[in-house]
């Protein structure tokens, strides 16, 4: 089995004025990667019109290499997230939310991808709990629910040779270093990492933390990569598994 090459980026924030700005950078992506994953914040304001522009930018690369995405907080802003996902699906970009899928690489490896948006809450020693006001309980309960779905999706990938957890929010604080400490609880949650470590994965990809750091690891030893565009400072980063 040949190594699996994963191209990844997040936070492209495509707007209606972005036509022609992304596609040229993806022209040769299929020569370097077996799968392409986009870790959320696909659009600026979650408008279907923005998704249409992004779909045009991704159509050629999605035809050449399996392409997957999760939505980010920006993609939910206009309450049109279902339409954003539908527009992208029409050009072959599979949007995952509490879902998993498996594709075969050219080298014969079965690549499993489990996708969820994730959510905030904070990290060990500085995290929210389901205590007090209903609003606080709902905030943490949402993260717990998403983390449970992520764990189930990873566990369902029983026939995969490699497993990738695709998120928008961060599961560890390693990849937040550079961000202000005060906003860590709004950038991710340790509950996501706990779910990943229980189920197992070979790579975790996320975005959202524009001022963070690229590399981290879960307490269980799973590699985590923050691929927010301002962090990797290129159209995508390629990671090799296996």
Enumerate residues 6+ apart whose C-beta is below 8 A from 2. Answer: 105, 106, 107, 108, 109, 242
How far, in whole angstroms, is CA 205 from its chain's centroid?
5
How far, in Å, are 8, 25, 75, 162, 192 from residue 232 at the CA level? 10, 14, 21, 23, 22
Enumerate residues 6+ apart whose C-beta is below 8 A from 163. Answer: 112, 113, 114, 154, 157, 200, 201, 202, 203
CB 84 within 8 A of CB 43: yes
3-state secondary structure of 64: helix
Residue 96 corresponds to which tokens in the numbers above?
Answer: 């995952």
Res 107: pLDDT: 86
CB 208 within 8 A of CB 172: no
Domains and their CATH numbers in the chain: 4-241 (3.60.21.10)
Taking alpha carbons only, the member of 19, 6, 96 closest to residue 55 is 19
Q: Per residue of the chain (242 residues), what is the pLDDT tens digit? A: 689 999 999 999 999 999 999 999 999 999 999 999 999 999 999 999 999 999 999 999 999 999 999 999 999 999 999 999 999 999 999 999 999 999 999 889 999 999 999 999 999 888 998 899 999 999 999 999 999 999 999 999 999 999 999 999 999 999 999 999 999 999 999 999 999 999 999 999 999 999 999 999 999 999 999 999 999 999 999 999 98
Res 1: pLDDT: 67
What sign does the dihedral 156-160-164-167 (CA atoms) show? negative
Q: Angle CA(30)–CA(7)–CA(59) in degrees, nearest 5?
A: 50
Q: In whole angstroms, give the CA distance from residue 179 to residue 228.
A: 13
3-state secondary structure of 216: strand
Res 106: pLDDT: 85
Instruction: Render 68-116 in DSSP notation, one character per residue.
Output: EEE--GGGGTTS-HHHHHHHHHTTTEEE-SSEEEEEE-TTS-EEEEEE-
CB 129 within 8 A of CB 196: no
Buried b (16+ CB within 10 A) or exposed e, 139-159: bbebbbebbebbbebbebbee
């Amino acid at each position: 089995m040949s190594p699996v090459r994963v191209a990844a980026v997040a936070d492209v924030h495509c707007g209606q004025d972005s036509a022609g700005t992304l596609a040229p950078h993806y022209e040769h992506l299929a020569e370097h990667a077996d799968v392409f994953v986009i870790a959320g914040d696909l659009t600026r304001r979650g408008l279907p019109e923005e998704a249409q522009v992004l779909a045009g930018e991704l159509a050629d690369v999605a035809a050449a290499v399996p392409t997957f995405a999760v939505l980010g907080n920006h993609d939910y802003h206009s309450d049109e997230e279902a339409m954003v996902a539908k527009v992208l699906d029409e050009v072959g970009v599979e949007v995952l939310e509490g879902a998993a899928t498996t594709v075969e690489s050219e080298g014969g490896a079965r690549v499993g991808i489990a996708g969820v948006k994730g959510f905030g809450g904070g990290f060990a020693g500085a995290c929210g709990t389901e205590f007090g006001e209903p609003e606080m309980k709902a905030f943490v309960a949402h993260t717990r629910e998403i983390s449970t779905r992520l764990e189930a999706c990873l566990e369902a990938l029983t026939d995969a040779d490699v497993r990738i957890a695709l998120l928008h929010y961060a599961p560890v604080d390693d990849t937040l270093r550079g961000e202000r400490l005060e906003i860590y609880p709004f950038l991710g949650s340790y509950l996501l990492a706990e779910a990943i470590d229980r189920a197992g994965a070979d790579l975790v990809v996320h975005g959202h933390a524009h001022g963070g750091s690229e590399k981290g690891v879960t307490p269980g030893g799973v590699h985590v990569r923050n691929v927010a565009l301002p962090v990797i400072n290129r159209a995508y980063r390629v990671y090799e598994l296996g």
